Each structure stands twice: as structure tokens, then as C-alpha cells.
């Protein structure tokens, strides 16, 4: 699906934030690496996906009315088997109905759970002075606590991307600590350059978060995405 079609569909519903599956459609157009996942409506569809990719899995509610899924119990991690998958799919819907009773639920997003690697954030926003700005730093639960980030005005070069990574404390972890394998810095730089291009070319995008991106010894992959547009 073309980005213009994704944005137009959301606009017709009066929204300025894309759902995660919609955000992934935008990212795919820029070949940004994403963990494998699928939107399902039934347990049978989820089970078929699990048989193909294996466990553990992550499930997330898909709703145009919910931006912060974790706050409403809309995310379950580390599902290890078929019976647990069936139980947690029911539970996640009950959680959301309890917290946001009138939310429109469009399905459940099921994805392979990424294990290992270092969690980082890659993001961007519209700055009133500088225009589109790209962000990189520690990801996951550490983003707000450590505030370990670097910034550049887009577009950026590959050299800029490497410098952004090296400027952060996260770089020490990415190089490998206490026997842990070093992350693939080149793959991470590729993600930064591709996100920079997305921000530069997609005038609709006002804010973008890929958090976390898992930096692995043999690549980098985004496991969660959020896009705010105008």
C-alpha cells in the first residue's frame, strides 16, 4: 500500500496517529527492517502464524482509539505455546474493554518475539526552528530514564549516522560488554539513513518512534512503530 493511501484512510476516520500495522506499511516503503508479524481476527489465524515462525510470540491490540497499548493492558510478551496464546488473546481483549470500553478493536497484531541484542530508539519529529530532526539513543524502558540521545537535522549522511551512534552512551553497549557480542553498527546506521529519508520525503509525518529497535550482531530490526501525521 502506498503511503498516501495509508494517510488518506486514517484522515477519513478523523485520526492523526496511525495504528502500528499502518505505521509498518509506511516503513516498508522505505525498506526499514521490521520483525515479522501479522494482524489476526481469530485464534486459528494466530496459531497458523505461530506454526510458521515458532514461539515465543508477542501480541498487541490493534485499535485506532489506542495509542499507548501498554497502558491499557494491550501488550503481552513472551507467549510460549498454543494454550497460552489462546488464553492471552482472550485476556488482552478483556483488558482493553475494561480500560477503554468504547475502543474500536481492529484485531490483534501477532509478531515473533526478538531475543538478545541491544534495545535502541530511532525517532524523529518536526521542530519549529530546524524542521525535521532525527533522534537516536537507548531504547525500551531506558529511553525516558537515561535520556541518552543524539540529534541531527535531516537529511543525514551515512557518516552522520555513525557519529550519532558513537555520541551516545549506548555505543559502549553496542560495542559489546562482558563477553556480549558487538552489535552490527553498519545495519543500525542503515536504519538511521532510511528513517532520515522517510522524514525528508514524507511531508505528512510530524512524529515517528521506532522503540525499540533491536541492534543484533547480524542486523537491526524494529519491533514497535508509531507515526503521528498531519
Its domain, for residue 136, covers 118-229
- DSSP label at residue 184: -
* pLDDT at residue 17 is higher than 90: yes
Interstrand relation of 118-127 and 131-138 (parallel, antiparallel or unpaired): antiparallel
SS3 assignment, position 117: coil
Percent of the chain with pLDDT over 70: 97
* pLDDT at residue 145 is higher than 60: no
For residues 184-212, average pLDDT: 97
Burial tier of 115 (Cβ tally within 10 Å: 0-12, 13-18, 19+): exposed
Tell me what pLDDT residue 24 has.
Answer: 98
Give start and end residues of each alpha helix (H) in 29-114: 43-53, 82-99
* pLDDT at residue 30 is higher than 60: yes
Whether residue 46 sits in one domain with residue 21: yes
Whether residue 127 sits in one domain with residue 95: no
Whether residue 137 sits in one domain with residue 92: no
For residues 110-138, average pLDDT: 95
Tell me what pLDDT residue 141 has.
Answer: 61
Span of 62-76, 118-132, 134-148, 194-208 with lowest mean pLDDT: 134-148
Whether residue 8 sits in one domain with residue 106: yes
Q: Which of 92, 112, 132 is the last residue of a domain?
A: 112
pLDDT band (50, 70, 90) for residue 176: confident
Q: Which of 78, 96, 112 is the last residue of a domain?
A: 112
Whether residue 181 sits in one domain with residue 79: no
Whether residue 206 sits in one domain with residue 223: yes
Percent of the chain with pLDDT over 90: 88
Whether residue 101 sits in one domain with residue 132: no
Q: Which of 76, 94, 112 is the last residue of a domain?
A: 112
* pLDDT at residue 144 is higher than 90: no
Whether residue 107 sits in one domain with residue 12: yes
Whether residue 95 sits in one domain with residue 171: no
Residue 146: enclosing H or E segment and its boundaries?
A: helix 143-146
Per the prediction, the chain carries an average pLDDT of 94
Whether residue 123 sits in one domain with residue 108: no
Tell me what pLDDT residue 148 has.
Answer: 83
For residues 18-37, average pLDDT: 97
Whether residue 52 sits in one domain with residue 13: yes
User: What CATH number is given to the structural domain containing 127?
Assistant: 3.30.470.20
User: What CATH number is given to the structural domain containing 60?
Assistant: 3.30.1490.20
State the total domains in the chain. Answer: 2
Whether residue 108 sits in one domain with residue 8: yes
pTM for the full model? 0.93
Residue 193 phi, psi dihedral angles, 5° rounding: -65, -40
For residues 132-161, average pLDDT: 86
Per-residue pLDDT tens digits for 84-105: 999 999 999 999 999 999 999 9
Amino acid at each position: 500500500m502506498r503511503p498516501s493511501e495509508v494517510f488518506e484512510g486514517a484522515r477519513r476516520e478523523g485520526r492523526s496517529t496511525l495504528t502500528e500495522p499502518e505505521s509498518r506499511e509506511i516503513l516498508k516503503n522505505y525498506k526499514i527492517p521490521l520483525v515479522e508479524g501479522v494482524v489476526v481476527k481469530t485464534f486459528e489465524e494466530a496459531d497458523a502464524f505461530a506454526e510458521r515462525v515458532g514461539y515465543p510470540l508477542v501480541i498487541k491490540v490493534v485499535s485506532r482509539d489506542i495509542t499507548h497499548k501498554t497502558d491499557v493492558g494491550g501488550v503481552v510478551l513472551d507467549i510460549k505455546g498454543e494454550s497460552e496464546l489462546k488464553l492471552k488473546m482472550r485476556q488482552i481483549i478483556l483488558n482493553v474493554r475494561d480500560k477503554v470500553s468504547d475502543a474500536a478493536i481492529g484485531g490483534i497484531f501477532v509478531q515473533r518475539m526478538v531475543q538478545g541484542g541491544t534495545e535502541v530508539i530511532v525517532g524523529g519529529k518536526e521542530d519549529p526552528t530546524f524542521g525535521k530532526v532525527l533522534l537516536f539513543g537507548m531504547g525500551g524502558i531506558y529511553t525516558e530514564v537515561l535520556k541518552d540521545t543524539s540529534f541531527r537535522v535531516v537529511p543525514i549522511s551515512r557518516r552522520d549516522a555513525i557519529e550519532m551512534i558513537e555520541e551516545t552512551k549506548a555505543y559502549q553497549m553496542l560495542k559489546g560488554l562482558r563477553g556480549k557480542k558487538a552489535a552490527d553498527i553498519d545495519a543500525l546506521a542503515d536504519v538511521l539513513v532510511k528513517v532520515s529519508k522517510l522524514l525528508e520525503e514524507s511531508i505528512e509525518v510530524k512524529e515517528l518512534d521506532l522503540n525499540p529497535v533491536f541492534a543484533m550482531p547480524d542486523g537491526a530490526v524494529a519491533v514497535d512503530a508509531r507515526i503521528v501525521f498531519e
